[in-house]
Amino acid sequence: MKKELFSRIRYVNFVLNALSLIMSELVKIVDSLENKVSKLLHKLEMLSETNAKLENELDFIKNDRASDQKTISEWEARYDSLKLANSMLGSNSNKTEAKLKINTLIRELDHCIAQLSE
């Protein structure tokens, strides 16, 4: 009977030691997972901040590009006006273009006069 009792006590001690080892391994695993989750959350925060900065930079660049496009359009209009003025002042180049422009302007005026007459 004592032998059987000692055998059972040894078995219980063995099981408790095994459970203790398993628990310590589980604690290590949980600690490792907590550490990895913390690192991932930090990385997510950093990437979110970087993304916000890049979105702001993209908006700035888009606005800058739109401003540049507007400036280009204005300069193109000025250039066209200068070409027309030069051809009207007697420059031999672009005379045909000037005549076409004048004809277009006359047609637009005729159209406006016709609308006003109605």
Could you tell me the mean pLDDT of each successive run of 10 residues in the chain, 118 residues long? 82 89 93 96 97 97 95 93 75 70 88 87
Domain assignment of residue 113, yes or no: no
| CB atoms closer than 10 angstroms to residue 92 | 7
Domain range enclosing 58: 2-92
Instruction: Provide the token pair at 77.
Output: 């209009």
Question: Is residue 16 situated within a structural domain?
Answer: yes
Residue matched to tokens 């507007």: 70
Please, what is the Cα angle at 86 between 82 and 90, to 5 degrees?
A: 170
Phi and psi dihedrals of 89, rounded to 5? -80, 5
Considering the entire predicted model, what is its pTM? 0.50
Q: Which residue has the tokens 């930090």?
A: 42
Q: Give percent of the chain above pLDDT 90.
A: 52
Q: How many domains does the chain have?
A: 1
